[in-house]
Amino acid sequence: SSGINAEYGDQETPYLVQCDPSGAYFAWKATAMGKNHVNGKTFLEKRYNADLELEDAVHTAILTLKEGFEGQMTEDNIEIGICTGDGFRKLNRTEIKDYLAALN
């Protein structure tokens, strides 16, 4: 199966690395995978830019998830991680709930 890793590069720039089952890998600044990944990538192409502040990037990620999400999106059924020069951290449920509330 395919997978995506969040990494922090030599140039102090976070990026995503997608590896597919054949072993091929691709570096992305923003990407989507899974069901409706084409719609997600199209959405990101329109909304993503390198100057996004962290808050806007998280909102963009949630909106991208909503593009292909079936049912109600809650803090119980999504996870969000943030990769910075300080490392990787997963948002807790309260933080995710606050982000979701801000979008409604």
At residue 99 the predicted structure's pLDDT band, cuts being 50, 70 and 90, is very high
Q: To which residue do tokens 């990769």 refer?
A: 83
pLDDT digits (tens, 9 = 90+) for 13-48: 788 899 989 999 999 888 888 888 899 999 999 999
- On whether the CB atoms of residues 2 and 19 are closer than 8 A, the answer is yes
Provide the mean pLDDT of the chain.
89
Instruction: Please tell me the distance from the alpha carbon of residue 97 to that of residue 17, in angstroms, as a whole number.
Output: 27
Radius of gyration of the chain (CA): 14
What residues have CB less than 8 Å from 100, skipping those under 6 apart? Answer: 62, 73, 74, 75
Q: State what percent of residues in the chain have pLDDT above 90.
A: 51
Nearest residue to 95 via CA among 76, 77, 75, 78: 75
From CA 81, how far away is CA 6, in angstroms rounded?
Answer: 9
3-state SS class at 16 = strand
